[in-house]
Structure formats: structure tokens, C-alpha cells
Amino acid sequence: EVQLLESGGDLVQPGGSLRLSCAASGFTFTNYAMNWVRQAPGKGLEWVSFISGSGGTTYYADSVKGRFTISRDNSKNTLYLQMNSLRVEDTAVYYCARWDSWGQGTLVTVSS
Amino acid sequence: DIVMTQTPLSLSATPGQPASISCKSSQSLLHSDGKTYLYWYLQKPGQSPQLLISEVSSRFSGVPDRFSGSGSGTDFTLKISRVEAEDVGVYYCMQAIHLNTFGGGTKVEI
């Protein structure tokens, strides 16, 4: 059974940094591209970032480009999202997603 | 950027009756590989999104056959042949031909 378990969400001040993790199990992690998707409170879904199975290709939404970095450690079956220069508008539940499977999400709150 | 527009914003459904949701993209989602990269998701209250349909019309494993997807190019439809109480939630379409973009969502209530 595919399982994706996010962690690392927290309350952080504007301008701060946070690293999210997503532990994957139940499938051959290196064979799958992965994504981060976020959902602001009461809002819809917003794609954030993509990484290929090898980690060699990454893409970002314009809203996070230059501030967020996606990465993966295939030896640990773990996906990461390094978030820097956080803004109030980054407040959201962050999901890791394989498109056919999603984690339960982790809440990031950016507030002073 | 590709814009995905869903209608209606909300839908009050009657159990046992059909329901449909429209999704329009600002550009064709037909790839040169012949596939059309349009997906449908359902986010039930308090849950993560779950995949219903991939590539316009392929039902994901375990998805009831009352759900069907159709369309081509820029116009797509998700149909529920007979709505059940468990179908409540927010439905999203998503394009995957150029990065990814979600529609704004359609809230289905009974």
C-alpha cells in the first residue's frame, strides 16, 4: 500500500525558514516523480513544485520560485521542501503527492 | 500559464440523480504523445484529495463506475450517473500537460 507521510509543518514568522519532509513507503520511490501541493485555509489546491524520480529535474510555481527548493533522498525514500523567506500568504496545508496518492498534509502557518 | 475554469462553483445534488461538472482549459491539453493530460480529484470533507479519473476518462483503481469522464482538447466533463451521499466534497480538475494547474473546485452537497 502506498503511504506518504508529511512532517515539519509549524508556526513560523514572516521571513523565516522551514523544511518539510515526506516519507514514502509501499512503492519503489525512485521510479516516481513527486510533487508538493498546498491548500490555503478554505481555499483550493495550488501546485507548488515537481521533482523527477532521479531528482535531476525540478519545476516551481512562480509564487515560490527562488524561495522554495524541492529535493529528494532516494536512499531514504524521502521527499523534501525547503522553504525560505516565508510570507503570510504561504500559510497552507502542504501535501506531497504522487498524483495517484496523496499524503495527509502538514500545516504551515506564517504569522508574527 | 494554463488556466482551468470549473463550473458550477457549487452543486446541490439529489441522491440517485445524475450530476455533472464542467472543466475548461485555456489551452489544449492534447499532448504530442496522443494523450490528454486532464485529471479529476475529489476532496471529501477533512480528507486529502483522491484521484478519480486520469487522462480524461480512465477511472482510477477502486473508483465506482458511476463516475465517468469525457471531453477533448479544452472542454471536459465529469459525470456522476447516480449521486450517493458519500460523493459529497469538492471536485477539482487538474491539467498536467504544462506543469500543473487545478481548477477552482466544485462543491457538491446533498
**pLDDT attached to residue B82:** 97
* pLDDT (mean) for B16-44: 97
**For residue A8, with 0-12 CB atoms within 10 Å meaning exposed, 13-18 middle and 19 or more buried, which class applies?**
middle
**pLDDT attached to residue A8:** 97
- A50: nearest CB among B1, B99, B104: B99
Looking at chain B, the number of H-run helices and the number of E-run strands are 0, 11
Q: Which residue of B has its CA nearest to A41?
A: B46
**pLDDT attached to residue A87:** 98
Per residue in B41-98, pLDDT tens? Answer: 999 999 999 999 999 999 999 999 999 999 999 999 999 999 999 999 999 999 999 9
Per residue in A25-81, pLDDT tens? Answer: 999 999 999 999 999 999 999 999 999 999 999 999 999 999 999 999 999 999 999
Quick check: A50 and B100 CB within 8 A?
yes
Measured in angstroms, the CA of B23 and the nearest CA of chain A are apart by: 15
- 3-state SS assignment for residue A29: helix
pLDDT-derived band at B17, boundaries 50, 70, 90: very high
**pLDDT attached to residue B28:** 96
Sign, CA dihedral A98-A101-A106-A109, equals: positive
**pLDDT attached to residue B106:** 98
Mutate to test the interface with A, among B9, B53, B99, B101 (most CBs of A within 10 A): B99
**Closest Cα partner for A89 from A71, A64, A58?**
A64
Q: Which of residues 65-104 of B touch A (CB under 8 A)?
A: 90, 92, 94, 96, 99-104
C-beta pairs of A49-54 under 8 Å, 24+ apart in sequence = A49/A81, A50/B99, A50/B100, A51/A79, A53/A29, A54/A30
Task: Please report residues of B whose CB lies closer than 8 A to that of A62.
Answer: 1
- B49: nearest CB among A45, A46, A50: A45
Separation of alpha carbons A35 and B106, rounded Å? 23
Mutate to test the interface with B, among A99, A101, A104, A107 (most CBs of B within 10 A): A99
